[in-house]
Amino acid sequence: MSVWPGYYSGLANGSATGKMYARLNCPRSVVRLPTDPLFYSDVELTNIVAGSRYWIALASDPDTVLASGTAASTTVTESGIPVYTNPQLLLVRVRKSSASTKYFPLTVYGYQDRDGASIYISQVADGIATT
């Protein structure tokens, strides 16, 4: 799409960053789209019970799931989580209900910034549930 004679504005090589080119195909400027993350950082969940399922999403939009999985140990590190605002509020849900000791579902929030996020998980055993 031509903005001015001799200039082209559009997506470069299918990337999510809009670029404007001059006549000789040299980048004129780079524009961050609203859907592009500001940066990426790590999220660490500490004190999680091994075998628990976890789910990490944006607190402002829980449909945007950033990571999920099963904890192999008491510390889980998810690398390369996109950050769209600085700081970014995360919603974390944790559940363990598949072993002899079951735990109540847990919902916690944490802030993620350029240095990442370290979220302490404090699961409580469910003394009533049995196998």
Residues 119 and 108: beta-carbon distance below 8 Å: yes
Q: Quick one: tokens of 84?
A: 């769209």
Q: How far apart are CA 107 and CA 51, in angstroms?
A: 17
Name the pLDDT band for 13 (thresholds 50, 70, 90): very low
pLDDT in tens, 48-94: 999 999 999 999 999 999 999 999 999 999 999 999 999 999 999 99
pLDDT computed for residue 129 by the predictor: 73
List, in order of start, the domains of the chain with CATH numbers: 1-36 (no CATH), 39-120 (2.60.40)
